[in-house]
């Protein structure tokens, strides 16, 4: 998959795609319905499948001091979109120029003149342009005037996908965020269609885990949504380097009250792993919640609990594989 960060001066081979248009935070099942519809059109027309997203997310741009809310930053989002068969990801910089562009100018300057798209697919509620003034009515009208096809995907729920499922609440990133804040990653995974994952660079911590036989790879979530504090069963992908691969593990996200820490950190212990990950990029998938974070009376009590948590995590991951 090719990633392009501008809409002007595009190479001829990168123009003329069918695109799915949206923020696609988390790439949940509703988003995937939009992308799958775009894929159908691209296949029918024999052209590349593209996706347009904005970096940073418009909400980050307009409220930079608000609490982090994102489900996926660009590296994880790109990996998820590539799995959907996307050929070109247009990750357009959301700056003052784009934020202030009138809706009609966005369609003309970005979609038509810039990217040369021939068909656009979006969700029923997508809005764009300065003041969120653009909607599917304007998009459809201008598309018809310019010879650009427009398809709109109506609300998607579990019931839409599977008539036997009575959950008719529409898929939304907001609902998934709440599930994660409530310590329900399995529910979030059901809505996403995949496990929620975060990616980061491993940094040095206090190295206390090594002293009790449970070394951890530590990453910060920074611009990402903060899930419920506590212990999770996880799977960890070491993205590159000599230890590249997928590992099972157990993780704690929180403030480490046993050591009176105040900053939040994700500490991941990888099972059956022996190596140095400092400075390496890892992606951590949250499989299920084990217990809330709590304070222990010393290292021995903490070690005993981690041993118990590790057994639980292994059982959860084993059950996940059996049900797959």
Where residue 84 falls among pLDDT bands split at 50, 70, 90?
Answer: very high
Same domain, 137 and 8: yes
Mean pLDDT, residues 149-172: 85
Same domain, 227 and 128: no
Same domain, 6 and 150: yes
Q: Is residue 8 in some structural domain?
A: yes
Q: Is residue 203 in some structural domain?
A: yes
**pTM for this prediction:** 0.92
Judged by average pLDDT, the poorest of 205-209, 268-272, 274-278, 300-304 is 205-209
pLDDT of residue 65: 93
Same domain, 155 and 15: yes
- Is pLDDT of 300 > 80? yes
Q: What is each CA distance from 34 to 15, 43, 121, 145, 301, in whole angstroms?
A: 20, 14, 6, 23, 49
pLDDT of residue 210: 63
**Rounded distance, CA 160 to CA 28, Å?**
14
Same domain, 85 and 195: no
Range of the domain at 253: 181-323
pLDDT of residue 209: 58
pLDDT of residue 127: 95
pLDDT tens-digit profile of 217-268?
A: 999 998 999 999 999 999 999 998 888 999 999 999 998 655 556 678 999 9
Peptide bond just before 56 cis, omega within 30 deg: yes
Number of domains in the chain: 2
> DSSP string covering 37-94, please?
HHHHHHHHHT--EEEEEEES-HHHHH-TTSPP-BS--HHHHHHHHHHTT-SEEEEEE-
Same domain, 126 and 239: no
Between 16 and 300, whose confidence is greater? 16
Where residue 280 falls among pLDDT bands split at 50, 70, 90?
Answer: very high
Same domain, 233 and 140: no
Same domain, 91 and 136: yes
Residue 263 carries which DSSP code? S
- Is pLDDT of 50 > 90? yes
**Rounded distance, CA 217 to CA 250, Å?**
11
pLDDT tens-digit profile of 177-224?
A: 999 999 999 999 999 999 999 999 999 766 665 656 688 999 999 899
Same domain, 145 and 198: no
Q: Is 131 helix (H, G, I), strand (E, B) or coil?
A: helix
pLDDT tens-digit profile of 306-324?
A: 999 999 999 999 999 888 7
What are the tokens at 273? 């792993």
Judged by average pLDDT, the poorest of 17-21, 63-67, 170-174, 299-303 is 299-303
**Rounded distance, CA 193 to CA 118, Å?**
29
Q: What is each CA distance from 309 to 51, 231, 250, in whole angstroms?
A: 40, 8, 7
**Mean per-residue pLDDT over the chain, rounded:** 92
Q: 91: domain CATH number?
A: 3.40.50.620
Q: 266: domain CATH number?
A: 2.40.30.30
What are the tokens at 19? 């695109």
């Amino acid at each position: 998959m090719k990633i392009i960060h501008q809409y002007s001066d595009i190479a001829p081979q990168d123009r003329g795609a069918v695109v799915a248009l949206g923020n696609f935070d988390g790439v949940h099942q509703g988003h995937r319905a939009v992308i799958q519809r775009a894929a159908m059109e691209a296949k029918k027309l024999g052209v590349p499948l593209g996706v347009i997203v904005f970096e940073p997310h418009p909400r980050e741009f307009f409220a930079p001091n608000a609490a982090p809310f994102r489900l996926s930053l660009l590296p994880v989002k790109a990996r998820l979109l590539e799995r959907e068969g996307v050929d070109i990801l247009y990750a357009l910089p959301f700056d003052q120029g784009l934020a202030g562009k009138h809706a009609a100018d966005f369609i003309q300057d970005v979609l038509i003149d810039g990217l040369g798209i021939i068909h656009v697919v979006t969700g029923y509620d997508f809005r764009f342009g300065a003041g969120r003034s653009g909607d599917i009515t304007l998009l459809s009208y201008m598309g018809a005037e310019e010879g650009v096809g427009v398809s709109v995907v109506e609300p998607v729920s579990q019931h839409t996908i599977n008539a036997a499922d009575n959950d008719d609440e529409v898929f939304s990133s907001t609902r998934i965020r709440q599930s994660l804040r409530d310590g329900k990653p399995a529910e979030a995974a059901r809505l996403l269609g995949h496990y929620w994952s975060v990616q980061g660079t491993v940094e040095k911590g206090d190295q206390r885990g090594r002293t009790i036989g449970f070394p951890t790879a530590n990453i910060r979530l920074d611009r990402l949504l903060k899930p419920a504090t506590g212990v999770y069963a996880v799977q960890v992908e070491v993205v590159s380097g000599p230890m590249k691969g997928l590992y099972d593990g157990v993780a704690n996200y929180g403030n480490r009250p046993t050591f009176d820490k105040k900053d939040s950190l994700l500490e991941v212990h990888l099972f059956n792993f022996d190596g140095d990950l400092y400075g390496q990029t890892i992606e951590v998938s949250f499989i299920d919640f084990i217990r809330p974070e709590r304070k222990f009376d010393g290292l021995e009590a903490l070690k005993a609990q981690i041993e118990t948590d590790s057994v639980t995590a292994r059982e959860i991951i084993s059950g996940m594989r059996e049900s797959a």
